[in-house]
Amino acid sequence: MHLKYKYIAVDFDGTIVHDCYPEIGKLIDGAKETLVQIREAGGEIIIWTCREGLDKEACIDFMKNMSIPFDYINCNHPDLIKKFGNDCRKIGAEVYIDDKSLLGQEINWSIIKNFLFCTTKKPMFRVELPVVEHKYLRHHINGGIYFSRFIEDVELNEIQFTESEIRAIDDGYWQFAVPVEEGEG
């Protein structure tokens, strides 16, 4: 399976455990297994909770005692701070998993897992234009596409495109598509 997102923010109460705040509720079915799979697939897990002080320490202790992986709690990932040039109050992520979402549904980790992972991975390509200064086609952080001179300090997903994405930008770029091998980067 292929993880579609790298940076994933996950609420604690009502999402990883049943909401019994200030006590820690029972682990929700599928939460630990899904978080382990996210970590194994290269995902970065940021616990996003209203708990502070001793309540936050209890959350951390619970996660560690249950061997539930996480990378950060209530703070931004250093990669995202560097990428966006700030460390704002809102936790930065590509996906937020929270029982208080607009959908208002109970947390179902089976559905979440199906959303986060795809079972078949489409072939990916990067576009390298010959003999021009800005030769790599790249996703812009605000959406859109632009050309970049370098790819050394770039997240791999910023320069990867499917064939249909390349052709949708301009069919002429397809002739400059170079396959990206699994694990390249």
- pLDDT single digits (tens) 7-60: 999 999 999 999 999 999 999 999 999 999 999 999 999 999 999 999 999 999
Give all domains of the chain, ordered by start, each with its CATH number.
Answer: 2-118 (3.40.50.1000), 125-179 (no CATH)
d(CA 127, CA 180): 10
What CA–CA distances, in Å, run from 130 to 105, 145, 157, 173?
50, 18, 21, 11
Q: Higher confidence at residue 175 or residue 164?
A: 175
CA 163, 166, 170, 176 torsion: positive or negative?
negative
> For the chain, how big is the Rg over CA atoms in Å?
19
pLDDT interval class at 185 (50, 70, 90) = very low
> Chain-centre distance of CA 155, in angstroms?
12
Residues 34 and 70: beta-carbon distance below 8 Å: no
Q: Is the pTM of this model over 0.75?
A: no
